[in-house]
């Protein structure tokens, strides 16, 4: 009989343009054992984005229905569009012992904290705000007006980092990924996570 352990829910958030998408993609390329939740959004697809791969693209009405039917673990309106995490995927993975990572903005992360206080909250921080702006401009996906909106949101988002367990600076992508992998590994070894697993009668007594 083997010991049972639930999967870990990792919430990675931080301001737009800090590099969340890049870091998640790099973790995936490295083969890090994390499952990536695909969010629903009312945002229009960018060039190259595929429905069901990058996001589940929804109309406002469809998104509203998902909220009413309690299909979202959390959701938030961000710079004029709605984004939310489908709850079923997260539960299925965690219950079957697999880790899940959510790449979401800060308001949604705070909602997850209320529902899943045992999740691991990591705030990805830019080296400074000038660098953040350069990254958003460099990505070339936003108009000048949207860049300003995202920068204004970013400044208030930075103040919410105190709600997180860890802050990881994304100065260099590979270093940021090393830090995240180390944090996730350490989290798996925490006594308060493992005590139930090892002290569970079924697990201890079973041969
Ligand atoms: N709360 C919440 N935020 C999300 C979700 N999916 C994506 N986001 C966040 O929404 C923000 C905007 O996403 P997007 O338009 O794809 O732009 P980008 O991530 O800045 O390239 C980012 O901060 C994402 O992390 C979600 O399911 N819930
Ligand atoms: N550590 C880094 N150093 C320099 N540029 C970076 C770094 N991380 C990400 N970038 C660049 O910054 C831009 C925004 O990154 P992205 O992953 O889209 O951010 P987010 O998902 O947080 O909005 C992209 O052009 C990306 O290539």
Tens-digit pLDDT profile for residues 29-43: 999 999 999 999 999
* Three-class SS state of 40: strand
Between CA 164 and CA 104 the distance in angstroms is 13
Give 204: exposed, middle or buried? Use CB within 10 Å, 0-12, 13-18, 19+.
exposed
pLDDT for 206 beyond 50 = no
Query: Annotated binding site, which residues?
Result: 14-21
Q: What is the pLDDT of residues 150-192, one digit of tens each?
A: 899 898 999 999 999 999 999 999 999 999 999 999 999 988 8
Please identify, by atom number, the ligand 1 atom nearest to the C-alpha of residue 15.
23
Using the mean position of ligand 2's atoms as its centre, give its distance from the Cα of residue 168 in Å. 14
Residue 113 lies in a domain: yes
- Determine the average pLDDT of the residues in 4-19: 92
Number of domains in the chain: 1
Q: 84 in ligand 2 pocket by Cβ < 6 Å?
A: no
Q: 126 in ligand 2 pocket by Cβ < 6 Å?
A: no
CATH number, domain at 127? 3.40.50.300
Please identify, by atom number, the ligand 1 atom nearest to the C-alpha of residue 106.
1
- Tell me whether 0.85 is exceeded by the ipTM: yes
Residue 191 lies in a domain: yes
Residue 186 lies in a domain: yes
Beta bridge partners of 121: 11
Q: How confident is the model at residue 207 (pLDDT cuts 50, 70, 90)?
A: very low
């Amino acid at each position: 009989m083997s010991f049972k352990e639930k999967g870990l829910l990792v919430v990675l958030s931080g301001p737009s343009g800090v590099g969340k998408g890049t870091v998640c993609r790099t973790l995936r390329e490295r083969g890090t054992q994390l499952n990536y939740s695909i969010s629903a959004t009312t945002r229009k697809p960018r060039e190259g984005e595929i429905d069901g791969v990058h996001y589940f693209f929804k109309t406002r009405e469809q998104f509203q229905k998902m909220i009413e039917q309690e299909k979202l673990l959390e959701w938030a309106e961000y710079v004029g569009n709605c984004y939310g995490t489908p709850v079923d995927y997260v539960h299925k993975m965690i219950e079957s012992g697999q880790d899940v990572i959510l790449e979401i903005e800060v308001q949604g992360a705070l909602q997850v904290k209320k529902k899943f206080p045992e999740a691991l909250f990591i705030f990805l921080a830019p080296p400074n705000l000038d660098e953040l702006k350069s990254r958003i401009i460099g990505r070339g996906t936003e108009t000048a007006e949207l860049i300003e909106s995202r920068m204004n949101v970013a400044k208030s988002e930075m103040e919410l980092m105190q709600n997180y367990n860890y802050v990881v600076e994304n100065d260099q992508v590979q270093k940021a990924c090393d830090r995240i992998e180390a944090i996730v590994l350490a989290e798996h070894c925490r006594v308060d996570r493992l005590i139930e697993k090892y002290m569970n009668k079924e697990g201890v007594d079973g041969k």
